[in-house]
Structures are given as structure tokens and as C-alpha cells.
Structure 1
């Protein structure tokens, strides 16, 4: 399948001119934004393969919500689970994800993006078997820790792989496929958890990495990683596989090589110094900011403790059914985001996402405040479910998938591994803090105060998006990197070349 508008779109026919800054000096450069029609089949296979790993991640993230209820039932479990141990069953995964995020940076640089993703499959299976066969709480915690470590590595490497393999015109759509499959994993866990106990649910989780392992064997390593290792011929073959047999990949390959050479020329011998260079620090801080506001929206507290929250709300609707409805909405909303992201762009979806979350979190806070102060909620028992649904829609449209997508887009190639490692570790650190302290926050300021707090954080997040986050829609990774490193100005074509001001 090919998508092409070559005859209709001047971008594909006429070279463009842009002004770039190199070594502090402005100069003109002729370039061609897209050299090939968009070849879909192989890029979908690549996106589908890594997305199967994301489904395992989603299932792992949602496991505690349905599993803890049956795990604490003495008729179904031959060991006791205290309140503190139960909180660690939920909290140890993001803590291990933090360690996985830190380890994943060196892994994707030295082993490669594909191999790093591939090597998480078997440990995922082992972790689920540990949980499923557990006869003591330490086995459950060990399984959750190993699973969390793999989740941290996968969260880092999946967006980097897709960012480096998919063409700019479809990078937004296919780049959200892992998030969509992650939500399928969450939904599957919620639905299966209604009918299976914690051990049976873990056996189901252990079967999910098998198709992921098989599909990952079919796809190539990223061309950019091959170039970084000096293996240009392997990079050419990988690019040919991704772009189609008839595609002329030489211009794109030359652009990748040129970008890598420029990054090498300006790189220092110390990775920390590279991260802290002003040109690299800006995209890193933007990525960290997006991760911070993603997690401080309270989403993982909602996902991990969905059943408990609906119980506390005294909702008139069965809490397990509410959980499934939230999972279905989460799944549908992400597919809507995949359709809209390459039409509306990243920033508009982040605006919409943030406004939805602010309104619903404040509404949930008001509901719990009214209930906690003796108000009659019998006529508004539907409100928590309605607010949760809209909250999940808002999150899934923007702040759920886009921080991960943009992490693979805006981080410069030379530091992409180490910077993505920092961003992923930071994300999981925030996840751990939110999920582990959620019960404590509720004890201190009440559940109404917790939702108001998360809503207030989202207000600050909206201003962060407005003033700090760039739009990356339709831009190649090389274009984004040049823009982040220094000003870039474009002109329509060589034929329309006119005198241009060099004032920045």
C-alpha cells in the first residue's frame, strides 16, 4: 500500500530552501522534505510489533486493580496480604520501572533499539509465572519487580524505535499505536479480572509476550542506530525494508549520516556534559516537563485503584462494570487520537486533553467533598463514572500518548538514548510517588483534596504546553533537531528564492 500525492503536493516535487545556523553562522541549505511516497505495510508491521510489547505493559500496569481484590480473599489465596504489602504490590512496579528506565538508556545505545525491546519478552513471561505460581507474598513482589523493570525498559525503547523508523507524515498516527495497544492491555486486564482470580489473571498475562516475541524477530533494527555504529550498509538495507523495495533511500540515508556526523562533531566525551549542553538541555527539559504533568494528573492512581475509588464513591453502578467501561473508553479515545494527531497536531490535542482533565478532576473533587460532608448523592451516583469517562477521554487524547511520542521526536540523536533514559526514569519516579502516596494523600487531605490537587497541577500543565512545547507535526527528526538546536527558516522553493533577512 502506498500513499502519495506527488502530483498534487509541491513538497514532493520541488526542492526547498531553509536558513540554518551552523557554528554560530547563518547559511542557506537546499533540502527535500520527503523523498519517497509513504509505504505503509512494513511500517505498520514495525509499529504493530513494538505495540504488542506495549499491550504487555498496559496489562502489567492495570493488574493490581482487579487482582488485589481476589488476592486478599482468604478463600482464594493461601497467604495473607496486609495493607502495607498490598500497597507494595501496586507500588513496586513503578519503582522497578524507574530502574528499568535508567538501565534502558545504555541498553538501546549499545545493544540496539530492537534487541533491547526483544530481550524484555522472556523476563516478562518469567515475571508472570512467578506471580501466577506464588505461594508467598515475596513471589508476587518479585514478579511485579521483574515485570516493572521490563516495563521501564520498554517504555523507553518503544517510542525511540518508532520515532527512528516511521516516516514523518504517518509518525503521529503509527506512533500512537503502542498507546492504543497499551490501552487494549488495560481493557483486557479489567475485563478478564471480572471473571478470573489473581493467579489465573497472571497466567493470562504470561501468554501475552509470546506473539510480541515472534513479531519482533521479523522487523529490522533502526537505520539511525546502524549509522551510529558505522554500519551504513546495514542501515541502507533496514531503510529499504521500511520504505519499500522500489524506494530511493539514498537521500534519506545521506540526511541521517549527515545529521549523525554533525552531532558527533559537537559532542563531548562526557555523556553528562552532552545532556547539560544548552542546545540539548532544552528538549530534555521539555520532555521531563511533559512526563511530570502526565503523571501528576493522577492517571496511574486512577488506573491502579479504579475499583477502590468507585467503592469509596458509593456509586450506584457496580464498581467492576465501571472499571470495564473506563477501560473501553480509554481504548476508544486513543484510537480517536491516532486519527486526529496528524491532522490537528500535538499541541492542540494537548490543549484539549488538559482542559478535559481540569474540568473532570475538579468535578470529582467537588463530588467527594459533597459526599464527605453528608450530602445526599443518591441522585448523582452516576457522576463519578461520567467524570472518570471524560477524564480518561481527555487523558487518552493528549497527555497519555503524546509525551512518549514527543520523547522519540524532540530529543537529539546523539543523546537520544541517555536523554530518553533520564526522561523515562523520571516518569516512573513520578508514577511511583503518585501511586505509593495516593492513599496517604487521601488520608491527609481527603479524596476530594487529592482530586483538586491533581486538577491544580493540570492548570500549570496547560501553561507549560502553551509556552514551552513545540509543534512537531509533519517534521522529520533532522528538521526537529535543527529547530531545537538553532533557528531554522524555510522558503517556498528555489524558483521563488528572494532576498532574506538574517535577523534572528
Structure 2
């Protein structure tokens, strides 16, 4: 009966709402919870600064170090290679030394990487620095949302976890804007600041209570929960649920990468991997990395277009944060996917009209509008929710291996899209955006039929439905 309930996403959503458990009183956002989240998302800001550095630094780096176009393209793409390496080691690192330790290691990678770029006199040191930063953000992309999900109460988890994507967006936008006014070396120096803030802050914030329970430190788990929820909060029910669930998981095999492909984890793996594939093959990194080329191909001002893209993502991401724990994950994902579908379709139709020499004065503006619709819609949900759901749907006994695998899928897909995007754009701009709109359309169907609603449930309650065999007593 439990297995049949997993055949349909809508049924799955209803089951989550009907899990037989006593409702907890809603927890408030304590100072230490807010501060811990802030320190965690400093890593997200570092992630954003790395993404935003490429475009404003291009002219200065190429002039100062005499780089060719292909050499600078390698500088940009090697970050993704580093991120794949970081993704591979993220799960085991987080499992062995904890969530705080993994964030600290990632920031050391980023710090050394920024220093290498800052001091570079030749292309190899520049590329080494970018590669190291890539390793760092590959680690951060997994451990930050997992840490936030594991320290926050169920009624606040969605909104707090969404700050991860907001800080990526903010870091990228701020780096772009600052980069228009300072040199590329100064911009690299500024990139070091959030690395140092997180490294210092990690000495103060608590470890994940669920990770502490997993390694057998139940008393420390309870102490951290009390600190996170407030001295007057009653944590007995939450602490019991965590420890009971961990005891059940001890009956399962040791965490190995091959264990992910067992039938009991099939639904979690399918949802996690599919969301990452659809997020990336919807074209986001190609569109953002080659936005200048897109606007130039459309006959629109690249500077105006890129600036508008950076601006529109911030309020849309904030809107997603505000709605996350009210509307839920699935409605936001559906709205976001519909928006990226419309934006891609509008850009594709506009380029198609240009190919047929129709509406020449209007099509540049239509491409601009389509890209803005796509960019804003992506920030609303698709940007961050797949990472949030990834942090929620896997049981803690395989979460580290699953997180590494899913993160690797995401970064590998990102590399493929960025590698082929320019070729596709040169061959057929209209066809490129029609492909992206088709994938966005498939995302709408997948979310509507398969993806569960996880709002308002503890991580342990989610497992009772997504992976029922791991929750049996």
C-alpha cells in the first residue's frame, strides 16, 4: 500500500498533508537561528560573487595579462570543472567533519582561489585560482542548503532555505555593479571579504543537530536544539523524533554510493536528479553567461539588458522567500516553470520573426522582455527550490552520498549547457530558445505530477512518505 502511494505526485502531496503526527506549535526565529543562517549564506554570497566576476573583469584581465578570447573562455569554464570536483567530495566531507567543517573547508578553497587571482601575473595562476573557487562553491552548493534545512523548524524551513538563492543572486548582482567601477584585482580583493566573514562566524554558530544525532552525540543534539529554538522552547518532541528516526536508520546498511539506486530510495533520487537536470537544461547558465551575445544578436543594448536582468532577479527572489512557507514549494515551482516557458518561447518567437525579416523594430524589445520574464521567473522558484527539496527528501543515512551525486548532476549539466550554448546560439537563436521552452514545459508537467509538497513537515515526516521503509519502527 505504501509503494502504491508513491505512484502519483498529487497523491504523494496529500499523504504528506495527512501524516499521522501531533501538530507542533510553530517555532519562532531566534537570534542564534537567524545568525547561523546568515553565516551559512555568506557562502552563498561567495558563490554569487564567483558567478558575477566573469563579465565585468573580462576587459581588464584580457588587457593586463594579454589573454586571448579562448584563454579567457577557459578561465570562465574551469570554474565548473572545479565545482564538479567539489560536488564529488561534498557529501563525504560533510559526513566526516560535519556541516560547519565542510563550509570552513569550502571557504579555504575560495579564499586561496581569490588570492591566486588577485596576485596572478600569468594565465596559469589565474586558472588555478578559478579552479579552486569552483571546488569551494561545489562544496557550498550542497552543504549550505543542507545545514539550513537541518537547523530550522518546519514552519520556517522554506523561507530560511530560500535565502541561499537570494544571496547567490545578490552576490552576483553586486559583483557586476561594483565591477563596473573598480579594477579586476580590486574586485577579487572584495571577493575575499565574505569568505573571511563566514570563516570567523563558523567558530560561533552551532553544528547541525541532526548530524550530531547521527554520530551518536544525542546530548549535544538536544543542547543545540535548545539553543536554536530558545531557552523557553519545548524541544522534547522534536528531539525524540530525530533520535528515534536515527535509531531506525542504524538498522540500514552503511552509506555507500551504490545504495542510492535501491528501490526504497528510487522516488527521492528521481525527484532530486530530475529537478537538477530540468533546472540546468532549461538554459539558465547559458543565458546568464552569454546574455551579452543574446542581446547583441537581437539588436538590443547588451549593457541595458544585463543590468535589467540583474535588477529583476532580486525582487523576484525576495518574493519567492516571502511565499515559500505560505504557498508551498510546488505552487512556486509551477509558477516559475510556466514563467521560464513563456520567456523562452517569447524569445524564440522573436528570433524566428527576425529570421523572416518581420517586425524588425519590435523583435529586439520582445527578446529583451522574454529574457527578463525568464530571468525573473527563474529567480522566483527554479533557482533555489530544487536545492531546498534536495536537502529535504533524502534520509540522513544516504543524504551525503545523495547530495554529492545530485550536486554532481547539477554541475555536469551546467557544464554541458555552457559548453554548447554559444554553438547553438550561433546556429539558430530561435531553435535554441524553443529547446529551452520545451524543457520548461516538461518541468511544469513533472512538478505537477511527481514533485511532492514538503511545506510544513519535519524532515523525518517527509521520509515517512518519500522513503517509507526507512521510517518503519
Fold shared, TM-score > 0.5 on shorter chain: yes
Residue 333 of structure 1 is matched in structure 2 by 316
1:261 aligns with 2:247: yes
**For the structure 1 residues 29 and 291, does the alpha-carbon distance in structure 2 shift closer, same or farther, using more than 3 Å as the test?**
closer
Go from structure 1 to structure 2 and tell me whether the alpha carbon gap of 1:270 and 1:201 turns closer, same or farther (over 3 Å shift).
Answer: closer
When structure 1 is superposed on structure 2, of 136-145 and 363-372 the one drifting more is: 363-372
Which of 263, 272, 275 matches 1:287?
A: 272
Cα contact 1:66–1:307 (8 A) shared by 2:
no
> Take 1:474 and 1:221, find their aligned partners in 2: how far apart are those partners?
23
**In the TM superposition, what is the alpha-carbon distance from 1:127 to its structure 2 partner?**
0.7
Between 1:28-37 and 1:39-48, the stretch displaced more is: 28-37
Q: Is the 8 A contact 1:329 1:389 kept in 2?
A: yes
> Residue 262 of structure 1: CA displacement?
0.9
Residue equivalent to 2:22 = 32
> Does the 8 Å contact 1:179/1:334 carry over to 2?
yes
1:447 lines up with 2:432 in the alignment? no
Query: What's the secondary structure of 1:423's corresponding residue?
Result: helix
Q: 1:140 to 1:369 in 2, by over 3 A?
A: farther
Q: Distance in 1 between matches of 2:390 and 2:381?
A: 14
Change (3 A) 1:30 1:91: closer
Q: Can you give the 5+ residue segments of structure 1 that lack an aligned partner in the other structure?
A: 1-18, 22-27, 489-504
Using the size of structure 1 for normalisation, the TM-score is 0.86
CA distance in 2, matches of 1:33, 1:277: 32
- Aligned equivalents of 1:261, 1:238: Cα separation in 2: 19
Distance 1:350-1:382 versus aligned 2 partners, 3 A rule: same
Contact 1:70 1:198 in 2 (8 A): yes
In the aligned structure 2, how far is the partner of 1:364 from the partner of 1:451? 6
1:20, CA displacement in angstroms?
8.6
Deviations 1:56-100 (A, max 9, x none): 10111122122224433x3xx232223x32322221111211110
- Paired residue for 1:116? 102
Is the contact made by 1:292 and 1:427 (CA closer than 8 Å) also made in structure 2?
yes
Bigger fraction of residues in helix:
2
Contact kept in structure 2, 1:36 and 1:248, CA below 8 Å: no
Residue matched to 1:155: 141
Tell me which residue corresponds to 2:208.
222
Distance in structure 1 (CA, Å) of the matches to 2:327 and 2:384: 15
Match of 1:4 in 2: none
Which of residues 472, 475, 479 in structure 1 aligns to 2:454? 472
2: CA distance between counterparts of 1:353 and 1:31? 31
Please report how far the alpha carbon of residue 464 of structure 1 lies from its aligned counterpart in structure 2 after TM superposition. Answer: 1.1
Call closer, same or farther: CA 1:289–1:235 in 2, change over 3 Å: same
Find the aligned partners of 1:325 and 1:155 in 2 and give their Cα distance.
Answer: 26
Paired residues, number: 456
SS of the residue aligned with 1:112?
Answer: helix
Residues 179-258 of structure 1: pairs in structure 2 closer than 5 A: 179-258=165-244
Report Cα offsets for 1:430-481 as digits up to 9, x if no partner.
Answer: 01111122112223x3222211111111111111111110000101101000
Change (3 A) 1:270 1:386: closer
User: Is the alpha carbon distance of 1:29 and 1:433 closer, same or farther for their aligned partners in structure 2, counting shifts above 3 Å?
Assistant: closer
CA gap of 1:448–1:90, structure 2 versus 1, over 3 A, is farther
- Go from structure 1 to structure 2 and tell me whether the alpha carbon gap of 1:328 and 1:371 turns closer, same or farther (over 3 Å shift): same
**Corresponding residue for residue 409 of structure 1:** 392
1:274 pairs with 2:259 = yes
1:78-97 to 2 correspondences below 5 Å:
78-82=65-69, 84-97=70-83
Indicate which of 432, 453, 466 corresponds to 1:484: 466
- Computing the radius of gyration from Cα coordinates, the structure with the larger value is 1
CA distance in 2, matches of 1:20, 1:243: 33
Cα distance in 2, alignment partners of residues 165 and 212 from structure 1: 17
Q: Tell me the alpha carbon deviations over residues 280-305 of structure 1, each in whole angstroms, 9 at most, x when there is no partner.
A: 12102201111011111111112222
Q: Distance in 2 between matches of 1:469 and 1:35?
A: 27
Q: Mark the CA change 1:197 to 1:469 in structure 2 (over 3 Å): closer, same or farther.
A: same
For the aligned residue pairs, the C-alpha RMSD in angstroms reads 2.2
Q: Which residue pairs with 1:304 in the alignment?
A: 289
